Amino acid sequence: MELSGRNVLITGASSGIGAETARELARAGANVYLAGRSENRTRAVVEDIRRQAQRPAAHWLPLDLADLASVRRCAADFLALDVPLHILINNAGLAGARGLTADGFEMTFGVNHLGHFALTELLLDRIRASAPARIVTVASRAHRYANSIEWQDLRRPTRSLTGAREYGVSKLCNILFSTELAKRLTGSGISTYSLHPGVVATDIWRAVPTFLRPLLKLRGMLSPTEGAQTTLYCAMRCPASESGHYYAKSRRTLPSLCAQNDALAAELWRRSENWTR
C-alpha cells in the first residue's frame, strides 16, 4: 500500500512491537495515532517519530482497553478529528495479569479481545468510508493451547497460576474475531488479517511474578523490530484477496482447528456484541 498521507491507529504502541510498527509506518509516509494508557510512555515514541519524519506524523490518544467507557472515549476522540482511517492495528496485549476489567470480564480476555472488538466496531463506519482499508489484529501461536472457550470463565477472575491459559483463549478469540470480521466485510473494500508476531522480547508478561517466568520459557526471543515484521507485512503488503487469514513469518499459515471453527467464531461475535453494547 502507498502510505503517504494515510492514517493508521495502533493500540499499545508505547513500546515493543507497537512502537516499532508505528515508526516503520511513519517512515513509509503514514500519520500514526498511538492509542494507549500512558501519555508519558507514549510521548517519547511520538517525539521520536516526529523527529525522524520531520513532520507531525504521530499523535497520542488515551485508551484503556480494560475499561469499555475508555474505549468509547478513544473512538469518539478519533472520530472528532474528522479524518479517514485507512489502517487499524489491534496490537496491544496483556498476559499474566489477574482479576477483572472495569466491566467484569477476565482481565486478559477483556483487554486482548473485548476491548479491541469494541474499538473496531466503533470505528468501523469511518474505516468503511476510508476504503480501501485494513484491520490487523496481533494474535499469537499461543492460541493453539486453547481447545475451547469456556464462556463462564470469561466473567470470572483469572484462575491459572501464570495466566497462560487465559492468554491462549484471548489469542484464539483474536483469530476468530478477525475471521468473522472478514466475512461480514466482504465486498466493503476492507481486508482483515490476524497474525503471530513470533516470540518477542517485550514487557507483555510484566504482570507475571519474576519467580514464575522460567515456566514461560522467556528465552531465545525475537527483538521488537523483528517481531513487527509480520504486522507490517499484513498492514502494507499482504494481498487483499487473502482477507480473513492468519499469518506467521509473513506467510499465510493455518491456525488451530479450533480457530477455524466458524460456528465458534459466530457465537463469539454474538456474545461480544451483546457484552459491548
Q: Contact at 8 Å (CB) between 171 and 195?
A: no
State how far the Cα of 212 lies from the Cα of 38, in Å rounded to an integer. 26
One-letter amino acid of 83: V
Is 167 a residue of the active site? yes
State how far the Cα of 97 lies from the Cα of 24, in Å rounded to an integer. 29
Return the closest-CA partner of residue 16 out of 194, 165, 221, 166.
Answer: 221
- Quickly list DSSP for 94-128: --S--SB-TTSSBHHHIIIIIHHHHHHHHHHHHHH
Q: Which three cell numbers stand for residue 251?
A: 506467510
Facing residues of 10 across strands?
A: 34, 89
Instruction: Write down the catalytic residue from 33, 167, 193, 247.
Output: 167
Identify the three-state secondary structure at position 73.
helix
- Alpha helices per DSSP H over 83-228: 107-109, 115-129, 164-184, 224-227
Q: Which three cell numbers stand for residue 49?
A: 517519530
Q: Contact at 8 Å (CB) between 36 and 11?
A: yes
Q: Are strands 251-253 and 190-196 parallel, antiparallel or unpaired?
A: unpaired
Facing residues of 196 across strands?
A: 248
Return the closest-CA partner of residue 231 out of 22, 41, 44.
Answer: 22
Active site residues: 167
